[in-house]
Structure 1
Amino acid sequence: MDMPVTEDFEPLMKRLGEIELYHDGEDWVEAESVWKRPLRPQAFPYTTFDSVTQSTLFNYSSLTMNRTLTALYEQDFLYLPAASDTIIQDLKAAYTTPLRTLANQLIAPLEEKVLGNLQHQVNVGGGWNKELFKCFLAEKLEPRGEAVHDSLSLIQSASDPQLMLKLLLMQHAVDFLPESSHMARFAKGDYGDAQSAVFRVLLDEFGYGKHATKHSTLFKATLKSIGMLDNSHAYWNFYLTSSLLNNNYFHKLTRSPECFFEYVGAITYAENSFGPYCGSVRNLLLQHFPDVDARYYTEHVHIDDFHGSMTLNEILLPLAERYGPSVYPEFVRGIEMSCLLQQIMEDDLCAQITWMNKRPLYRQLAMDIKHRVLENIENIPVAHLNEPKGELSVPHVHDGDEFCIVDEGLLRFCHGPDCFSDLSPGECVVIAKNRLHGALVLSEFCKYRILSIGDYRHYATYSL
C-alpha cells in the first residue's frame, strides 16, 4: 500500500531547512564535518517537489529530494570524526530527537515522490513458478564476457581521464564509505538460515572484525592514494542524482521488512554484476594512476563472485524453496529495479562526463549565441545576482539550458569537481540542462545574470 503524501510536506521541509547541518557550506568539499549535508534550503520556497517521473529524473527537485532522503536515512548511521575536543556537544547537535521526529515525518512522502513512479514502472505479473523463475534468473545472471560500460569508455577517451576517474570514485563514495550499513538492518531479527548467510556477507564487508581489511578502509586507501579526501560525504556536493537515487532505493528496502524479498532479488543481482565492473574500474585506475592503491577493486573482483554465489545459493534459492511461488514476483521486482537503477546511473554519469569534457565548447557556444540571447532578453526569465567575495553556489542542476553572463567582477564557474572556468565581465557559458554545476565569487563582488533559455538550440546554428 502506497503511503499518502502528507499535506504538511512543504512546512516540514521548511523546518528541515532551518537546521544548520543542511545549510550551504563554505567550500566545494567538506574536509571537516562528517555530518554536514548541504541541501540549498534557500531554494525550497521555489522548488515544486513534484513526484519524480522518467522525464524528470535529473531535474532540480529530484536532486534536492534525493539529497534530503539520504541525509535523513542516515540519522540512524553513526559518523564520528577522526578527532574532536567537543565530541559530546557535536553528537548532540548532529543527532537530536526533534530531527529524528522530523525525519520520520518526511521519509515516507519523500520515498513516494522519489521512487514511487519508478517502482510502478516495474510491473511484475503473477503466474511465476520455479521453472519460469530459473529461466529468468539464468538470463539475467548469464555471463556476457567483458561487459562494456559507456561511462568507462568516456573516461578512457576524456581529455583528462584522471579528473573523470575522481568523479567516478565520488559517485562510489556515497555507498562505499558506509559500506553495507544498509544490509546491517537485515542482520537483526530471527528468520533462520538466510539470516546467517546475510550476516556472513556483512562480516566479509566488515573485514571479519579487522579494521585494516574492512572494505571501506580499503576504499579510503584508494581515495588517499590519488590525493582525494577519505571522510564520509566529503564530496556530498558532487554526488549525482542517480547515485543518491540508487543508494536511497536500498535504504528504503532495508528500512522496510515487508520489502525483504525484493531486497534479496536486488542484492543478488547487484552482487553478481559488481565483480566484473570492479575489474574494469581497477584496470582503468592502474592505467591512469600508476601509484593507486586499488585493493578495494581487486578485492571485489574476487569477493563479489563469492557473494554473488552466496546471495543466490544460500539466500535467494533456499528462500524460494521455503516459501514457494509467492516470493518469485518480489525477487523479480528487485532484480528489475536494480537493473533499471544501474542504467539510470550509467546515463547520468555519461552525461556529466560529457558536460565536463566539453567545458570549452560550452563556453564557446555561449559566446556564439550571446548576441541572439541578449537581443531576446525581454522574453527570457532572468535572475540578477550581486554576490560578495567568497559566495559559494552549492553545485546543483537546472531543468532546462541556462545562459550565465558576468557583468562585473570575476566568477569561478564550476562544471564539476576540479573543473572550472573563470568568467570576467562580458564572458559567459551555457549551462547544460540537468548537469551539476556551481559558482564561486573571486572578486570583491560579482554581478552576473542567469537567463533561462530553455533549449540552447533555439539560438545556435549547431549542436554539441
Structure 2
Amino acid sequence: MPLDPADLLPLLDPGDPNGIVKAFAANTAFRAAEWEELTTEENPYRRPVRPDDLAWLDYGKPMPAAKALKLSALLGHRMLRNVYDAGLLYLPPVPGRAAADDGAAFYSARNRALGALAGPILERHLFSLLDGEYKPLDSADPQALRREIRAYHENRLAEPGRAFTVAAATTDRRAAATFMLLQLSAYLPAARAAAGRAALGEYDAAHPGARPLLLDEYRNWAAAHQDYRDLLAGAGLKPTAAAYWQLYLGTSLGRGNLLHHLSGDREKYPEFLGALVHQQIDEAADGPRFAAVLEDGLGLRTGLFDTLGTLTPDGLDARLDSVLTPLAAAFGPEAVHRFHRGFADARWFAGLWDGDLADQLAWADSIELHREKAERISRHIAESGIEVDLDTFVESHEETSTTHVHNEHRLVMVERGQMHFWNNVTHKIAFGEGDKVLIPVSRLHGSTVLSGECTYHQPIIPEAMYQQF
C-alpha cells in the first residue's frame, strides 16, 4: 500500500532527531529478541535492535571516538545496516509465516521512508568521529599516496592482526573459529554489495574502466557464493542474511556500513574508491589467515579466499593505475586527498575491528577466569564495605536479553533462579544461584531465563578496581 506522507509529518521535528530514529527502530522486525530467536536462520528480516535502550541513548549528536565500542555504536550500526539492507533483495530460504510478516514490515514503504530519514542521523552519529582520527596527506602528489598505500600493503601482508594471533592461542579453537566466521559474514557480503551498488550509473567517459572493475567485485562475489555457502555449512551454519545477527560485533557491522555509506552517497565517489582499495588489500592479507584459523579450529579447507583473489604488489600498482590515475586526471588534486580519506577511514575501522575482535575472543575463551575474578571482586567489595552502583533485574521464564554491550565493567550475580548466558552459537553457559561472572566494558553477550523467575544483580565496577583484579 502506498505511504501517505502525512503519516510521517508528526516525526519531522528537527529538534528531535531521536524521535525519527526511535520510529524507525519501532519496526516489528526489529523488536527485542525472544528465547527462540537467538539465531534466525530461516528469516533474513528478523533483526533485533533493543529499541527500549533508545529511551536513554542520544543519536542527535556525533559520537566521540572513545565510545566507538559502546552501546550506541552497536545499536547504531545495527539500525544503519537495516537502513541499507532495506534497499537490497533478500529472500528467506524456505517460506514461513514469521519471515513473511517480518519481510512485509522490513520492505514496507513506511520503513523505507523512515530509513531515508534516520540514515543521515545515524551516519552523522557513527561516522563524524572519523574527522578527528584522519591524518591528511602532506601533498596531493599521487606518488605520495601510492607510497603510503604500498607500505601499508606490505605491512598487512607481513603482520597478522591481533585477532588472528589471539584466535590461534585460544583453548577452544572451534568456538574462536566459529565466531570469526560469523564476523566475516557480517561485513564481507556487505562490502561486495556496496561495490555492486557503486557500479550503477553512467560514468565511463569521465572514469574509463571503473565500472567493469566495480562490477567484477560483485560478479566475483556472486561466483564465489557456493564456496561461501559450503564454508558456512562446514561450520554448521546457514548462509541466510543476518542469520546470526545477535552475534555480529558492532565493528563488524561498521566495516560494511562504511562502504555502504560511501557507495550510496554519490558525492563521495573518490572516497568510496579509496575504501574499496583498502578492502581489497584487507582481503588479500587476511584471507590466508582466515583460512588457517578455520582449518585449525573447524577442520575446514576452503577455496573461498582464492576465488576472491589475492592482491600482489604488482596487482596493487595496476589497481591504482586503473582507479587513481584517471580519477586525478578527471577531478584534479582534490580527488587524491579524497581517495586517501576513504582509504584512511576504512583502515581506521579495520584497526578498531581487529582490537575489538581480539578482546572478544580472549574474554569468551576465559569465562572461567572471569568467574573467578567476579568472586574475588565481589568479596573485596563486601569485605571492604565499598559502595558501588548496582542494577537489579527480576525476569520471568524465557525472558531474553537481546545481545548487547555495557558502557562500563559489570558483574552479573545470580541471587536466585537459573539462566543461560551466551556469547557464541557454539554453546551456552549455565548460571544458577550464587554464580557470578565479570563482563568487561564492550563485550558482547546476552541471556535467557530458564527458571520460573530469576533475580540477578549487576554491580558496576570502577576502572581502578577492574585494573586491580
> Do they superpose with TM above 0.5?
yes
Contact 1:253 1:262 in 2 (8 A): yes
1:28 aligns with one of 35, 38, 51: 38
Within-5 A mapping of 1:268-417? 268-290=277-299, 292-302=300-310, 308=316, 311-374=319-382, 379-417=387-425
TM-score by length of 2: 0.88
The alpha-carbon distance between structure 1 residues 90 and 198, as it changes in their structure 2 partners (threshold 3 A), is same
Aligned-partner Cα distance in 2 for 1:342–1:57? 13
Contact kept, 8 Å, 1:272 with 1:309, in 2: the verdict is no
1:47-86 → structure 2 map (5 Å cutoff):
47-49=57-59, 51-84=62-95
In structure 2, distance between residues paired with 1:200 and 1:85: 38
2:442 & 2:450 partners in 1: Cα distance? 25
Matching residue of 2:166:
154
- Structure-2 change in CA distance of 1:74 and 1:122 (3 Å): same
Cα separation, 1, equivalents of 2:382 and 2:399: 26
**CA 204–452 in structure 1, closer or farther in 2 if over 3 Å, else same:** closer
Q: 2:261 aligns with which of 252, 276, 280?
A: 252
Aligned residue identity for 2:363? W
1:184 aligned onto 2:196:
yes
Conservation of the 8 A alpha-carbon contact between 2:411 and 2:439: yes
* Distance (Å, rounded) in 2 between the aligned partners of 1:186 and 1:459: 46
Change over 3 Å in CA distance of 1:339–1:370 after alignment to 2: same
* 1:310 Cα deviation from its structure 2 partner: 5.6
Counterpart residue number, 2:10: none
Maintained 8 Å contact 1:272/1:307:
no
Shift of 1:354: 1.2
2:147 counterpart residue number = 135
Q: How many correspondences in the alignment?
A: 452
Q: Deviations over 1:260-284 (max 9, x none)?
A: 0011111112212321310121123
Residue identity opposite 1:71 in structure 2: N
Specify the SS of the correspondent of 2:398: coil
Per the normalisation by structure 1, the TM-score is 0.89
Unaligned runs of 5+ in 1: none
Is the 1:39–1:68 contact (alpha carbons within 8 Å) kept by the matching residues of 2? Answer: yes
- Please state how far the C-alpha of 1:391 moved relative to its aligned partner: 1.2
Q: How does 1:6-45 map to 2 (within 5 A)?
A: 6-26=14-34, 27-45=37-55
Please say if 1:163 is aligned against 2:175: yes
Q: Secondary structure of the equivalent of 1:399?
A: coil
User: 1:114, 1:304 → 2: CA distance?
Assistant: 33
| Residue 208 (structure 2) pairs with residue 199 (structure 1) | no
CA positional deviation for 1:305: 8.1
In structure 1, how many angstroms separate the alpha carbons of the residues matched to 2:447 and 2:182?
19
Q: Give the Cα separation in 1 of the matches to 2:103 and 2:64.
A: 37
The answer (yes or no) to whether the contact 1:356–1:415 under 8 Å persists in 2 is: yes
1:403-440 Cα shifts (integer Å, max 9, x gaps)? 11111111112244435332211111111111111111
- Alignment partners' CA distance in 2, 1:178 and 1:439: 28
- Matching of residue 454 in structure 1 with residue 462 in structure 2: yes
RMSD of the alignment, in Å? Answer: 2.6
Give the deviation of 1:308 after TM superposition. Answer: 4.6
Q: Is the 8 A contact 1:274 1:304 kept in 2?
A: no
Deviates more, 1:124-133 or 1:421-430: 124-133
Conserved? CA contact 1:178–1:232, under 8 Å: no
Amino acid at match of 1:30: T
Task: Describe the SS at the equivalent of 1:383.
Answer: strand
State the identity %: 21
Return 5+ residue gaps in structure 2 as ranges: 1-12
State the secondary structure of the residue aligned to 1:331: helix
Aligned partner of 2:4 in structure 1 is none
